Structures are given as structure tokens and as C-alpha cells.
Amino acid sequence: MSTLVNDLKEKWEALKAENPHLRIRNAAVELGVSEAELLATNVGNGVTVLKPEFKDILTEAEQLGKVMALTRNDECVHERKGTYLNGDFSSPHAQLFVGEDIDLRIFLNHWKFAFGVVEGDKKSLQFFGKDGLALHKIYLTKDSTEAAFDAIVEKFKAEEQNHTLELETVAPKAEEKADSEIDVEGFQKAWTELKDTHDFFMMTRKFGVSRTQALRLAPEGFTKKIDTAKVVNVLEDASEKGLPIMVFVGNRGIIQIHTGEVKKTLWHQQWFNVMDPDFNLHLDVTKIAEAWIVKKPTEDGEVTAIEVFNNEGDFIVQFFGKRKPGIPELQEWKNLVAELEK
């Protein structure tokens, strides 16, 4: 272990001694390194470097049985229990798991590092981006098959068990164009002619608009900015009404989706939480900069989302009423959104 790595490990140990409940992500921020670099200081001591064969590792995750999938960004944590089923890696753009419980859209071009991690009685597979940012984690539960975890770690164990990682700097986001440079008329026409919500992203790319700029320049009646405090109302109202919703949380490497009811909601300091047996959400409301109601036409009728952003204009979380292609949006969801519009 190099002096630098040893020094980092000692600093982390000292931090943990000071604050035993400090999470590794927060420790990394405090120490000015990435989470992957911090994790790698424990290679050989509960941490195993895996080959970056993400498709094969994820395909074998089904053998683990019921696990907890965790995806987060800086403002929101999405934890969903279930089994990794129906993996589809045929597209070069986005890879999928589409199950009732584990529902993921994966962008493997952003993934670079994988680890098997054993911390006390907790076992997990952890995946990181080129810059060492945590993208996705799979934690074993009491219903998981531990032997399958051990087999995956052994099968994909890298020959080199290095404590140092070759990180890459991620290119910064493109500067937002001035509104005057946008073909607003063409953009608005394309919006009104949408047939599928999945085409929205390509439309914003075509017209060179950022996500929040798109919402500002939308055709009349298709978007409305709402008070950020109302984001909590979405979850509280859905809980109260027993209304099944869809909750999307992601980062550059993955989007994780919960579909179903949310029941137990509660506050802890600045965090608003859903604490259900198979679904947990933790949302730091102090980091919400903007919230919008967004309507998109589709072949199944209008689809309405609540979209929530941070100060940089990045997605924090997105909410829809439960729906599938070919099925119109739930009227109860339309009613809930109408209340928010008031």
C-alpha cells in the first residue's frame, strides 16, 4: 500500500472514530476524494476489486434472490427490494432490468469500477463511474443467497487487487444556450406532436435546450412551475389516497424506478422519507431548487410528471402516476396534480 493510500486510510479511520455514523459518501466529500478511492483503501480487507464485466455481473445478480437495489444522487436516495429479472443488454444506449420490483435503466458507458464488499454482516456489490462516483449498489438481505454472492465475487475477482484507481475527469455539462439561439417555435411544435414520453430527451438534444430551459420554453399549458414545498405533498397525498405512483431517481449511470403505493412517510431533520418494507426514499428538501408539473402528449393520451431539480438544473427525482404503454394515465393522479396546480 502506497504512503498516499495509507495516509488516506488513516484519515478515514480518524473520521470514523470521531463520527461512527458518518457515511462513506460524506466522508469522501470531507476528505476531498471520491467514494471509490476511499473504498479501495480497504482492498484485501473486506473489499475485492472485480473485473469491469458489468453486464455479466448484473446478469448473475438474479442468483442472489431478493436483494436491496440502491441508486442515489446528492439529494435523493432510492432503495428498492426485489430480484434482478429480465435483464436486457441488447441496446448500446441503455440497458434494462424490467421487473415488478427491480426496474432499472442503465447507461454502462459511464461505469468503470466494480467491487465486492463485506462490512461486518453486510454484503454488497458496488459500482462506480470513471470519476469514482457511486452509481449503483446491490445489498444482500436476509432473503438473499449468500453462496451466490461469494460465487460472483470469486468468479469476477480481478487479477490485480490494487488500492489505487485510475480515475478520469468527467466532462462538464455543456453551457446552456441563450433562449434567443433556440428555435422556440420549432421546439414547441415538436413538443405538441410527441407520441411517446421516451422521445422527449432526443427532442431536447435536437433543439439544444437544457432540461429546465425546455420547461421554461414549453408550449402554453404544458408546464407549470410550482412551489418546491409541494414536492412533499405528492408523496403525502399519494400515501393518504393509496394511489400507486412511479418514483424515478438516478445519476449519470443509472435510473431506478419504484412503481406502487407509498405508505409510511416521515420527516427526519431536512430529509423527507418513505419507509415501506420494500421501498425506501430519502429526499433532502433543502437541496430542491425547482419543481415543475410537466405534460407530454402520447398515443395513450397526456402523461403528467412532477419533475424536481437541484441548483445545477440536474434531476433529483421524478414522479408519475402508475402507468404502462397502452394504458391511459390514472384519473386519481390527474386529480392530485390538479390540486398542486392551485
Q: Using one digit for the tens of pLDDT, what is the confidence trace for 160-176? A: 999 999 999 988 888 99
Q: Which residue has the higher pLDDT, 103 or 327?
A: 103
- How far from 169 is each of 113, 129, 130, 138, 162, CA to CA, in Å? 14, 10, 7, 25, 20
Does the pLDDT at position 102 exceed 90? yes
For residue 200 the three cell numbers come to 422527449
CA dist 78 and 114 (Å) reads 20
CA dist 222 and 207 (Å) reads 17
Q: Using one digit for the tens of pLDDT, what is the confidence trace for 13-56? A: 999 999 988 999 999 999 999 999 999 999 999 999 999 999 99
The mean pLDDT value of the chain amounts to 95
Q: Using one digit for the tens of pLDDT, what is the confidence trace for 283-296? A: 999 999 999 999 99
High-pLDDT (> 70) share of the chain, %: 100
Does the pLDDT at position 334 exceed 80? yes
Q: Using one digit for the tens of pLDDT, what is the confidence trace for 109-148? A: 999 999 999 999 999 999 999 999 999 999 999 999 999 9
Does the pLDDT at position 318 exceed 80? yes
Say if CB 52 and CB 115 are below 8 A apart.
no
Does the pLDDT at position 327 exceed 90? no
Q: Using one digit for the tens of pLDDT, what is the confidence trace for 303-316? A: 999 999 999 999 99
Confidence (pLDDT) at 195: 93
Confidence (pLDDT) at 1: 63
